[in-house]
């Protein structure tokens, strides 16, 4: 909801509202990619996509905060693949940080402070990006051929 009423020419769309719609669509798409994902296939890439969508949400809300108000709502539960009971791969400590960031995002969306929502999305973005990188490294290491030791001649 706009704080300050701005008049636009007839037929012209408010660029901030267009950004909200585009950002929301990207966020929903990133979450959906985790919803019905096959086990492990592309997990790091899906996390990187989630990080990018969260970063875009943060950018949009930071830019809009001076002129728009946040309408409180429930963020809902993350997709199964991102929940603690799903058997997630990757560093346990980063997953704990991710879970805490998701909780902060949920709490922020239930409030009225758009900048708090932006900060929470920034946190999710940063941690999801770290997870994506860590899991990508693990996947590369698992796919690498084993090293063999050179035999020494006597």
Q: In this predicted model, what pLDDT tens digit does every residue of 5-16 receive, in sequence order? A: 455 556 667 777
Q: In this predicted model, what pLDDT tens digit does every residue of 118-151 receive, in sequence order? A: 999 999 999 999 999 999 999 888 888 877 655 5
List b or e across 7-33, with b for residues whose CB sees 16 or more CB atoms inside 10 angstroms.
eeeeeeeeeeeebbeebeebbeebbeb
Residue 13, pLDDT score: 72
pTM of the model: 0.77
Q: In this predicted model, what pLDDT tens digit does every residue of 56-87 receive, in sequence order? A: 999 999 999 888 888 898 888 888 889 998 88
């Amino acid at each position: 909801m706009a704080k300050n009423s701005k008049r636009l020419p007839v037929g012209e769309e408010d660029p901030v509202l267009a950004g909200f719609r585009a950002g929301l669509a990207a966020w929903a798409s990133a979450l959906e990619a985790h919803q019905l994902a096959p086990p492990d296939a592309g997990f790091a890439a899906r996390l990187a996509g989630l990080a990018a969508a969260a970063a875009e949400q943060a950018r949009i809300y930071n830019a809009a905060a001076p002129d728009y108000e946040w309408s409180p709502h429930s963020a809902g539960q993350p997709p199964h693949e991102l929940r603690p009971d799903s058997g997630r791969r990757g560093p346990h400590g980063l997953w704990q940080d991710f879970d805490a960031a998701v909780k902060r995002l949920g709490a922020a969306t239930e409030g009225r402070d758009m900048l708090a929502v932006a900060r929470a999305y920034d946190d999710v973005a940063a941690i999801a990006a770290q997870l994506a990188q860590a899991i990508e490294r693990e996947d590369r290491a698992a796919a690498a051929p084993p090293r063999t030791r050179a035999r020494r001649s006597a």
